[in-house]
A = this chain, B = another copy of it.
């Protein structure tokens, strides 16, 4: 077989191919890892100029996870993709409530999306934790509202919802605030694997048992 089929080798080769797209961008080594893993997950080097990482985001996520804080995800695909093995070492878990009956009922009553209802129900649990939004702009808007109006501030927000209705606006609002360190992508692009890529890149940094 001519194609590469050893997992470590595939990943290393992929990172080599991505490296030239990051030339001249003045990134820290940690930032390079986040950028590379996002571009790898999307198969799309055009992510390079639209990724935005707050200067304290990576260190803040490292500290929170190392201290055993949880990750709160907007959708099940984000929960599924996050590396639970590394997270568990430090005592954290990933939570997602979007499919819970309680959330469905609350969303119907309030006439809001289930993703938004789920974040509102997490409420104070978000304080000091890591929030990962990979799908729903309304979830991100709600997390930003909780920070602004109720002073519920996560340690960091990885906010990369996708699409043509609200996503770009929600990410612009995230990037414009300065209360909470963030990782985002401007415009309409994004999605669960992009949010997962950013989180996993950082989990691997604090997992001494593996490289990249």
What separation, in Å, do the CA atoms of A30 and B101 have in the docked complex?
32
Are B193 and A191 closer than 8 Å at their CB atoms?
Answer: yes
* Number of copies of this protein chain within its complex: 2
Are A17 and B164 closer than 8 Å at their CB atoms?
Answer: yes
Q: How large is the interface on A (under 10, 10 to 19, 20 to 34, 35 or more residues)?
A: 35 or more
A5 in contact (CB, < 8 A): yes
Chain B residues with Cβ below 8 Å from A112 are: 5-6
Interface positions, chain A 56-100, Cβ under 8 Å from B, are 76-77, 79-81
The A contact surface, by secondary structure, is helix
Contact residues of A with B, CB < 8 Å? Answer: 1, 3-7, 10, 13-14, 17-18, 40-44, 76-77, 79-81, 111-114, 116, 137-138, 141, 162-167, 169-170, 187-193, 196
Are B187 and A14 closer than 8 Å at their CB atoms?
Answer: no
Nearest chain B residue, comparing its CB with the CB of A197: B191
Chain B residues with Cβ below 8 Å from A43 are: 162-164, 167, 187-191
Chain B residues with Cβ below 8 Å from A18 are: 164
Q: Taking the nearest CB of chain B, how far is it from the CB of A1, in angstroms?
A: 8
Q: Taking the nearest CB of chain B, how far is it from the CB of A141, in angstroms?
A: 6
Q: Taking the nearest CB of chain B, how far is it from the CB of A72, in angstroms?
A: 17
